[in-house]
Structure 1
Amino acid sequence: MKNKYTIFWHRRDLRIEDNIGLYHALNSGKKVISLFIFDTEILEKLPENDARVTFIHQELTKINSTLQEYGSSLLVKQGKPKKVFKELIDTFNLAAVYTNHDYEPYATQRDKEVKAFLEENNIKFNTFKDQVIFEKDEIVKNDGDPYVVYTPYSKKWLATLSKENYKSVNCAALYDNFAKESFPPLTLKDIGFKESQIKVAPYSISEDMIDEYENTRNYPAIEGTSKLSPHLRFGTISIRKCVKKGLDSDNQTFLKELIWREFFMQILWHYPETVTNNFKSKYDGIKWRNNEEEFKAWCNGKTGYPIVDAGMRELNESGYMHNRVRMITASFLCKHLLIDWRWGESYFAKKLLDFDLAQNVGNWQWVAGTGCDAAPYFRIFNPTSQIKKYDESYKYIEKWVPEYQKDSYPNKIVAHKFARERCLETYKEGIDN
């Protein structure tokens, strides 16, 4: 009889330390094979030089190097997950598959199918909470309904929090429980991709950064943010470590941003239809203009508004955009150009290294005024006064739009005053009908 193995399936948790599902797998009494699947359902929608695929591949290489120190290696497969598991049960005698919860609509459907298939074959499918502190129904109103406003949600979140919630698990003490198996690595070329020139920046959660976060986070010209978002998205760092750091600071602004992340994740969990539908259906009557030429100008950073253009060019060249500038560019698309938030959400989804469905949809609907706890529709950023507030010395703009004072720079695509009035009228009409 072949040895029985446990598989640990990495998804949004590209690390082998402080990983809840992996910790339970390593404690299962069976030798553990670490698995990652490049899901073709996702890959086939991406360009061959997608920077996120390059980043994932780099992180898998790091995991593999550590596993090799323990006489093991990472099994990397490509295909549709259910099909991959069909092949694996023909190759290995599997007792169980362990993984961590994923909350997006596609992921929950995928896991349902994989679970059903494995259980038909008498293989247990065990999943754990890892990428959030609180999930699903853990933070709800007293009557059991989900919160749809951030402030009461965050208060309940903080009131519920105890040390147990952010206690790390020591996987390293159990690394000898990895299976002594050697698997050939998959190169980017093997999965049909090329290395991207766009790289994910390292994160910083230093004491100084967190303490100063409130004072620095709104200024795109300075290094005042953590650069954590892609690392949280792909799980190269544990949320427990981040929350502990946030709690250690006297200033709670950084921690509150982590709570926003969980707020939007539970909104998506409870309201999966909001991926494509307005959270507030009263906004369904808005008549978006959806001018394709204007959308193209926005995508390419050629609107004639320097801070909007700087943000879009930063996004296109680096896969990153400063959060304050994300709000300004998104507001400009929805309010100044009256282009449907779904167009902008889709463009950000293609470009952002930290693309996370819950955050992207939540923030776009927040800006458009259509989402839960959204900015009121009559709040319309003035892109020029935003420069005075957040890039007064034009350092950020000069970096990304060096020609902004030259003849070659395009004229404003629309006058602010006119766009503001048109927006108010269109929204009011859409809501009243």
Structure 2
Amino acid sequence: MYAVKQALVEELEQIRADGLYKVERELTTPQSSHVSTTQAEALNFCANNYLGLADHPDVVAAAREALDRWGFGMASVRFICGTQTQHRELERAIADFSGTEEAILFSSCFDANGGVFEVLFTAEDAIISDELNHASIIDGIRLSKARRFRYRNRDLADLRRQLEAARDAGARRTVVVTDGVFSMDGYYAPLEEICDLAEEFGAMVFVDDSHAVGFVGEHGRGTHEHCGVLDRVDIITGTLGKALGGASGGYVAAHAEIVDLLRQRARPYLFSNAVAPSVVAGSLKALEIAREAAEPRERLRTNTALFRRLMAQAGFEVLEGTHPITPVMFPGDDGARRASQVADAMLARGVYVIAFSYPVVPKGKARIRVQLSAAHSEEDVRACVAAFVAARDEVG
């Protein structure tokens, strides 16, 4: 055991030496646009709280009421005695919002993505995945015996080549898998063109819409609404842990037959406790609010545009786009160090952001990923930009 312990100590020391060690800052308040940590009070610009629903009083009240009505936990998986009427109510509401026939809840979107591929795709099939897809998709694909193809990020010509390769390999069933929004860059997948190619080759389309559901598109239904392909995506996965209340839980929304088969065979569904009653009730209320959240969605767009414009004027390199994920780039060999120092200097000035570097992002492309919220005021956005400028001047 000593040898193992010493090896782990050395591995951890190397992670620290590489500047990659993650320190979890403890919040002493509820998740919100303004938080307190054990170090400071701060404006929060690093949460996935896009609509500001994580501490919304109506969401909190619904969750609190559910504790009295439905209890604390299910103490069971769904097919034994872990399904309440509100679980099915939430699934029907998600399907309706997504524009699909059915939906199925998982304990997380990581589990949702981990449960699909093994069930639907065998050694006779082909999975074609964007190279920058989320880790949960990558892990889910590994559980399947299907042939794997990868295409360059949002590269439609390369996607065509991979579709041709899958066809030439004699794949029985082919699926193109993509994030709706790529979480480190804030880029949208070109879903209309992806659906065109998929239909040309007779392939299915699978979209993880975790960073879009609730606030992207005219009615917040996601990237398939944003791209005008509401009825052309076969499988949608998403999370309840971001815009829809920010708690936990994920889902698959799809054709009824797909969902039914997942209920029978998806291992993360069959062997995990049902989503907690208070989370279900709070998520139902969050989804209800999101349906009518035209004004918060517009405020989120306004905050995002303002931040991007002010940061460009201040001379920062910001990846182009319109999504509230706004990466502020620190390129070069010393970028990881500078990004980390700037993030620390900003917290000292009352603005909470997080730096990302290799292996989370490619070498030489370190960044601070800023995430805007409808709960931020214009004053909050301007204060964040001012903190960036002051921290950059301090760090050099």
Q: Tell me which interval the TM-score lies in, with the shorter structure as reference length.
A: 0.3 to 0.5
> If each structure's strand is expressed as a fraction of its own residues, which one has the higher value?
2
**Structure with higher RCO (Cα < 8 A, 6+ apart):** 2
TM-score, normalised via structure 2 length: 0.34
**Structure ID, larger Rg:** 1
TM-score, normalised via structure 1 length: 0.32
